[in-house]
Structure formats: structure tokens, C-alpha cells
Amino acid sequence: MTIALDGFDVKLLAALQNNAALTNAELGDVIGLSASQVSRRRQKLEEAGIIRRYRAALDPEALGLMVTAYVGVTLGAHSRENARKFRNMVTAMPEVQEAHTLTGDVDYMLKIVVPDLKALSHIINDELLPQEAVHHVRSSIAMETLKDDNLLPLK
């Protein structure tokens, strides 16, 4: 369902992106609406699928997840079945934070967060490479994270 967004909707979305824990009353104070108006708008945005979920942003390092790697995967044989198997495997792996299909030399790009290099080695050597459809895996390890707020550019 597609809905037209007005200025209040955009302000509401921006406020929720910054802090999804705000109450409807607090959101109303931020954007200039009553709590009941915020509640109706929020419900409309949820039903339309614009607001997909609410969650807390956790600090990986505070939880002992010290390595972030970007892993490019190329499949050897491209078929619906291989793509389905790979997709199912990746979506079931909690270490995979993001997974994207790509154009170009690499078929998939995975963002993987793990405690250490040994754990990354296990994922690459024991989970990804043994898949019969996987032809090539290339990983790059993030040395420093400059930005990771994942906020959409709302205007």
C-alpha cells in the first residue's frame, strides 16, 4: 500500500528514526501534534509498511563482537534452486547483519559481525565455501566504523 506523506508524517518518521522509544505524547511534543493524532499517523505508517519494525541499536563491541567483515560471494552455477538455498542459509545466520544481491563481479555482499577472526574463518570455510553453488568468496575486514546510524535521508 502506498500512501502520501505530509510534513507531519516525515517529521514523525524522522523522530522515530532517532529514537523509537519515544511515547506518542513525546513524539507529539517534538512534531507539534496531540498524542492521539500521532497514534493514528503511526498506525497508518505501520499498516502501510513504511514503519517495518522497532528495535534497539546495540553496541557490537560492548557485546564482544569485535570483527565486522564484508564478504563478497560469487556463485558458480546460477539457478533458482542455488539462489534459494543460498538465500535460506544466509537469512538463517545470525552473524549476517545485511545481505544484498549485486550487479557486477560479485553476486552477493554480506555484512558479517563476529567476535574474532577465528569465528569469521569458521563462517567462510565451514559454512559458505562448502555450499556447492559457491564458487568464490572474498572478504574485507572493517578496520574502523566511521558511520553506522542507518538513518534514511528524509526531507
55-114 pLDDT per residue, tens: 999 999 999 999 999 999 999 888 898 899 999 999 999 999 999 999 999 999 999 999
**CB distance 86 to 130 below 8 Å:** no
Read off the pLDDT of each residue in 121-134 and give the average, rounded to a whole number.
95
Sequence letter at residue 141:
I
Q: Are residues 118 and 95 in the same domain?
A: yes
Q: Are residues 30 and 96 in the same domain?
A: no
Domain residues for 22? 7-47
> 3-state DSSP call for residue 18?
helix
Identify whether 151 is part of a domain. Answer: no
pLDDT at residue 36 above 80? yes
d(CA 69, CA 92): 18
Q: Are residues 40 and 104 in the same domain?
A: no
Q: Are residues 43 and 82 in the same domain?
A: no
Please give the grid coordinates belonging to residue 52: 517495518
Q: Are residues 73 and 119 in the same domain?
A: yes
